């Protein structure tokens, strides 16, 4: 790829919002936004944007999907590649099979090689050589502002795939598996579908992204289908030989009242339950990374770090390793996918029980969105706090969940699900608290 050219930008916030509207007009597009989150020690760019299609990969079947993707990536060496891995790809890595269904027809895996690249760094853009500076700025700045476009859309209809009472009973069943020694911890999730959704995807994402300000947000468009993600979690990043994973386990609400906010933060810091959840996943990630890392190179760089976001505090740990000479970055993805924070421990048995107790197939949810750089480095998020949207069907869905351990309170876990869905529900114009 040719060197990127610089373009200074005065009002990044407005420019970025209009750029999202521009991406909504393209068939293939992606924006990955850090929202200027300063606590990410491994962030490289403030925002990455790609659109247009030089080449395309997608897999509708799980079996053989990783081999096909690896072949595609080898053909694209020296190029940027953007896309996602769905949770269902677990079936390609282990002896598993999902029997649940999902309304969305998104592929199991999808990546595209873009025609255009824009990188945000501080107050300037780095753009690919094929982009005409004046034409590009004119197109973006000429788009209407949100205030001019704002309309009153009918309120969408929310339908939970799992009712509250069923959710509470299922938590008790999962705790029985823990008591019997079947598992130590399991990530249990529930899906909500949204029908009669008329609001444009771009405006929905702008609103959602402004509410959450998450460091691993993403706007991914495949023709009339979208993934709108405001994820706070990094799945896996590769920088040279170094691998970094940052699992989240532990959530507490934020409050406008500073005193209440500090109390909530302090409770999370000292929560033995959340620490137990977190350390189990840290051990799982260490084990996964050890499959492809040099002996003695696995380090827990931070344990039980407390990170503030707009609506929640999260307990995040950071684990790193150094790739051994006989492994590559794609080997690391296969060794660690799907991420332990969205499965449980032991991983294989947890995934079997997830399929048994959840009422819908996860699909892209708890998969990963990200990119491969021209040099082979990569960075992927965990697809949580995310909306899957089909413009033609005027339908969307999102899932929320949490780690279940033996001392989990079913009612407390359900409240945590609603807390995690807060920004999504607010952006959809729906109540943030309900009984079913």
Domain CATH code at residue 168 = 3.60.120.10
The pLDDT assigned to 99 comes to 85
Average pLDDT score, the chain:
94
Each residue's pLDDT tens digit, 375-392: 999 999 999 999 999 999
pLDDT digits 0-9 by tens, 105-119: 999 999 999 999 999
pLDDT confidence tier of residue 141, bands split at 50, 70 and 90: confident
Q: What is the pLDDT of residues 249-290, one digit of tens each?
A: 999 999 999 999 999 999 999 999 999 999 999 999 999 999
Query: Is 433 part of a structural domain of the chain?
Result: no
Q: What is the pLDDT of residue 236?
A: 98
Task: Assess if residue 434 is contained within a domain.
Answer: no
- Say if residues 87 and 363 touch (Cβ distance below 8 Å): yes
**Assigned token pair, 78:** 């020296």
**Could you tell me the pLDDT band of residue 140, with boundaries at 50, 70 and 90?**
very high
Given 16, 90, 108, 249, the catalytic residue: 249
pTM of the entire predicted model: 0.96
Average pLDDT rounded to a whole number, residues 219-235: 98
**pLDDT of 318 above 80:** yes
Does some domain include residue 436? Answer: no
Please check whether residue 155 lies inside any domain of the structure. Answer: yes
Residue 147 has pLDDT above 50, yes or no: no
Q: Please give the DSSP secondary-structure letter assigned to residue 293.
A: B
How many domains, the chain? 1
Q: Considering only 147-156, 231-240, 355-364, which range has the smallest mean pLDDT?
A: 147-156
CB 10 within 8 A of CB 16: no
Burial of 51 (0-12, 13-18, 19+ CB in 10 A): buried
Identify the three-state secondary structure at position 221: strand
pLDDT band for 2, please (50, 70, 90 cuts): low
* Burial group, residue 60, by CB count within 10 angstroms (0-12, 13-18, 19+): exposed
- Please choose, from the candidates 160, 134, 170, 1, the residue with its C-alpha nearest in 3D space to the C-alpha of residue 80: 1
Give 149-178 pLDDT, tens digit per residue. 567 889 999 999 999 999 999 999 999 999
- For the chain, what percent of residues have pLDDT higher than 90? 89
277 in catalytic set:
no
Predicted pLDDT at 9: 87
Catalytic residue check, 150: no
- Identify the domain containing residue 419 by its residue range: 5-427
| Per-residue pLDDT at 303 exceeds 80 | yes
**Is residue 357, in this structure, part of any structural domain at all?**
yes
Q: Which of 185, 191, 233, 358 is catalytic?
A: 233
HSE toward the beta carbon, residue 339, CA cutoff 13 A: 29
Q: What is the DSSP string of 323-391?
A: B-TT--HHHHHHHHPSPGGGTEESHHHHHHHHHHH-SS--TTTTSEEEEE-TTS-EEEE---SEEEEET
Q: How far apart are CA 383 and CA 260, in angstroms?
A: 29
The reported pLDDT for the residue numbered 97 is 86
Which contiguous run of DSSP H or E holds residue 59? strand 55-59
């Amino acid at each position: 790829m040719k060197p990127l050219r610089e373009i200074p930008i005065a009002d990044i916030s407005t420019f970025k919002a209009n750029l999202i509207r521009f991406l909504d007009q393209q068939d293939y597009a992606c924006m990955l936004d850090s929202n200027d989150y300063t606590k990410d020690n491994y962030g490289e760019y403030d925002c990455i944007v790609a659109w247009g299609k030089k080449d395309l990969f997608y897999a509708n079947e799980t079996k053989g999907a990783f081999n096909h993707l690896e072949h595609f990536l080898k053909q694209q060496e020296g190029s940027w590649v953007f896309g996602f891995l769905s949770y269902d790809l677990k079936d390609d890595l282990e002896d598993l099979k999902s029997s649940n269904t999902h309304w969305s027809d998104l592929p199991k895996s999808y990546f595209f090689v873009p025609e255009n690249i824009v990188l945000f760094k501080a107050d300037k853009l780095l753009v690919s050589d094929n982009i005409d500076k004046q034409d590009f700025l004119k197109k973006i700045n000429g788009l209407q502002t949100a205030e001019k476009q704002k309309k009153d859309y009918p309120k969408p209809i929310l339908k939970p795939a799992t009712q509250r009472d069923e959710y509470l009973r299922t938590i008790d069943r999962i705790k029985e598996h823990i008591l019997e020694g079947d598992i130590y911890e399991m990530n249990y999730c529930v899906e909500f579908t949204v029908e009669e959704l008329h609001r444009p995807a771009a405006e929905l994402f702008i609103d959602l992204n402004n509410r959450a300000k998450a460091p691993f947000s993403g706007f991914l468009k495949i023709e009339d289908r979208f993934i709108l993600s405001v994820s706070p979690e990094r799945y896996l990043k590769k920088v040279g030989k170094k691998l970094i994973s940052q699992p989240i386990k532990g959530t507490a609400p934020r409050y406008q009242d500073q005193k209440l906010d500090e109390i909530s933060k302090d409770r999370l810091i000292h929560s033995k339950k959340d620490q137990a959840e977190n350390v189990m996943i840290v051990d799982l990630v260490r084990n996964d990374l050890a499959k492809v890392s040099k002996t003695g190179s696995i380090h827990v760089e931070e344990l039980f770090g407390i990170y503030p976001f707009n609506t929640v505090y999260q307990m995040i740990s950071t684990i790193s390793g150094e790739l051994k000479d006989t492994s590559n970055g794609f080997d690391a993805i296969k060794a660690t996918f799907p991420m332990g924070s969205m499965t449980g421990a032991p991983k294989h048995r947890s995934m079997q029980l997830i399929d048994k107790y959840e009422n819908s197939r996860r699909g892209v949810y708890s998969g990963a969105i990200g990119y491969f750089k021209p040099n082979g480095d990569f960075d992927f998020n965990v697809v949580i706090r995310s909306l899957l949207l089909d413009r033609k069907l005027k339908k969307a869905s999102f899932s929320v969940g949490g780690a279940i351990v033996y001392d989990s309170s079913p009612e407390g876990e359900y409240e945590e699900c609603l807390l995690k869905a807060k920004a999504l529900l607010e952006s959809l114009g729906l109540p943030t608290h309900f009984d079913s």
